[in-house]
Amino acid sequence: GIVGLHTFVKALSSMDESGDGVYDAEELRWGLREFGISVSEDDCLALVQMFDEDGGGTLSLDELMVAIREGAMPPNRVAMVRRVFHMLCRDAGLPCADGVEITTDRIRQRFDPFGDERVERGDPNWPPKDVTNNFFAVLDDSGDGQVSDAEFMRMYENISPAVEDDGDFKRMLDKFW
């Protein structure tokens, strides 16, 4: 589904065996192996060197995701996602400010699982309740029952590369929200 890349991103955190928030070539190699991707140590070193923006010899999750996503989300899509989050803030009676958090219960009231093509076509393996639960498990990165503006944006930054056309991206947002 559309949240696949974001789910993959969350799983990447398991690659950080040292727990320091960055990945050296060896952690990257073993982590990719867990995903069934066999990469040589030299290739992992080259990958780290290619995307290591700060020259530290490691990749942060952000550096790794920029590499996977092929860059940052276009500004027009950032604006679309912000508009949706601000709408959710207004619905919840909250100010539209950086750092604001909305409860997942409140956001669920606005979420429409029929925005997912599997629900829309009646796939028996994806009833609306399961799509909703899956979506919110992925959206609430920290699992605290709150969704920050940063979590909301991060999810759509990870979804964006899977949607080629800006019009399709807007329609997707409109269908879900």
Confidence of residue 78 (pLDDT cuts 50, 70, 90): very high
Domain boundaries, the chain: 4-69, 75-176
CATH of domain 75-176: 1.10.238.10
The secondary structure of the chain as a DSSP string is -TTHHHHHHHHHGGG-TT-SSEE-HHHHHHHHHHTT----HHHHHHHHHHH-TT-SSSEEHHHHHHHHHTSPPPHHHHHHHHHHHHHHHHHTT----TT-EEEHHHHHTT--GGGSHHHHTT-TTS-HHHHHHHHHHHH-TT-SSEEEHHHHHHHHHHHGGG---HHHHHHHHHHH-
- Radius of gyration of the chain, Cα coordinates, nearest whole angstrom: 18
Confidence of residue 71 (pLDDT cuts 50, 70, 90): low
CATH of domain 4-69: 1.10.238.10
Q: Is the pLDDT of residue 93 over 70?
A: yes
Average pLDDT, the chain: 84
* pLDDT tens-place string over residues 28-69: 787 777 767 788 888 888 888 888 888 888 888 767 766 666
Q: Is the pLDDT of residue 174 over 90?
A: yes
* pLDDT tens-place string over residues 114-156: 988 889 999 998 899 988 988 888 788 778 999 999 889 988 9
